[in-house]
Amino acid sequence: MKIAHFSLWAPNLSGLHEYCMDMCRQEKKAGLDPYLFISDIENPDPKRHREDGIVAQPWSKAKDCDVWVLHRSIPAKLMPQLPKKKNLAVLHGTSEILVLHDIESSGKARKFDMHVEFMKSFKKIVTITKYDYQIMKHYGKNVEYIPDAIDMDKYNIKGYPYKYRYRPAIISTSNIRINKNPAPLFWAIPEIIEKIPTARLNVFGVNVASSNTWDNLVLKAPRISNALEHYEHKMSDLRGFLLGADISFNSNYNGIFSRDSMEAMALGCSVVAYTPEHTKYACYRHTPSIVDAICEAWEDLKSNPEKQIQMNVDYARETFCMAKSVQKFITLYNSL
């Protein structure tokens, strides 16, 4: 079975890109024939647009695929073919963000309305977060939930960890955006250090476009800036940094486990988040609660490091496994 995945191209920057690459790899292992298409590049450069043996294909090859899977958008040029194909759309992120954009534009953007209308073009809609499923099931009977996942073959706790100078190494790796805000962790770190003097914060993925805001937030508060071991604008392959860290902070304000949190847990980190869906260390978005959750995670880690790390890895492999998600997608493909 030939599967067309319509995505974007943003290695090490976009969780959507990484998801599609992981999915293609696991579909190949499951015996399918996946093809990756870049929604805004009709004829990709096979030398530039390739990763781990997966090469982005020209749009012309999509006509030969049995199933079309939208991750970002179907090119307008190909839309007339969509009704003739088995098709489904995968909703990444949360639809709630579109509502916030609409409110910010005083209703002019109509992003959520267009989102709901666009869903009608597809035979099936897949949400990869339970939160989004709870929203979108009200707007269509064709909505299903297949949990977000990562390719576990890429995450090995026997790799080469970055050696932090201070422990616990608390790490934040979300690409900062409207629904991911690590600022509450910044504001909590001085009080964390009062309770754990050796703790330090390591921040990756600060949005370059708004870096002045984030730089001022840190630099104008000496107790915060002195608490940082790393503060980086770049986003790249962070597996070594995650492998060496102790506690990862999920800054998604609705508690959804972002890709970076799944990666962190797969590499042994304990994760602090705003909901208890996937972690024992849930907190509210205010300083005392964040401090308590991080202190609890550190106490558990200190008491039995090997056991805690292995528990995190085992949970991630059971819960966030792309190979298992692909099997659910195969069932869905066959039902279309």
Q: Where are the domains of the chain?
A: 2-149+322-335, 153-319
Percent of the chain with pLDDT over 90: 73
282: pLDDT confidence band, cut at 50, 70 and 90? very high
In 223-255, which positions are buried (b, 16+ CB within 10 angstroms) versus exposed (e)? ebeebbebbeeebeebbebbbbbbbbbbbbeeb
Q: What is the pTM of this model?
A: 0.92
Q: What would the mean pLDDT of 184-199 be, rounded to a whole number?
A: 97
**What is the predicted pLDDT for the residue at 102?**
86
Per DSSP, what are the bridge partners of residue 86? 67
* Fold match between domain 2-149+322-335 and domain 153-319: yes
Average pLDDT estimate for 210-224:
86
Q: 226 pLDDT exceeds 70?
A: yes
Distance, CA of 27 to CA of 33 (rounded, Å): 7
pLDDT tens figures, 99-112: 888 888 887 888 88
Distant-in-sequence, close-in-space partners of 88: CB < 8 Å, separation ≥ 6: 67, 68, 69, 70, 122, 123, 124, 125, 126, 332, 336
Distance, in Å, from the CA atom of 259 to the CA atom of 169, rounded to the nearest integer, reads 19
At residue 292, the pLDDT reads 98
Instruction: State whether residue 159 is helix, strand or coil.
Output: coil
Which CATH class for the 153-319 domain?
alpha beta
Contact indicator for 265, 316 with CB cutoff of 8 Å: yes
Considering the domain 2-149+322-335 in this protein, what is its CATH number?
A: 3.40.50.2000
Looking at every residue in the chain, the average pLDDT score rounds to: 92
For residue 70, is pLDDT > 80? yes
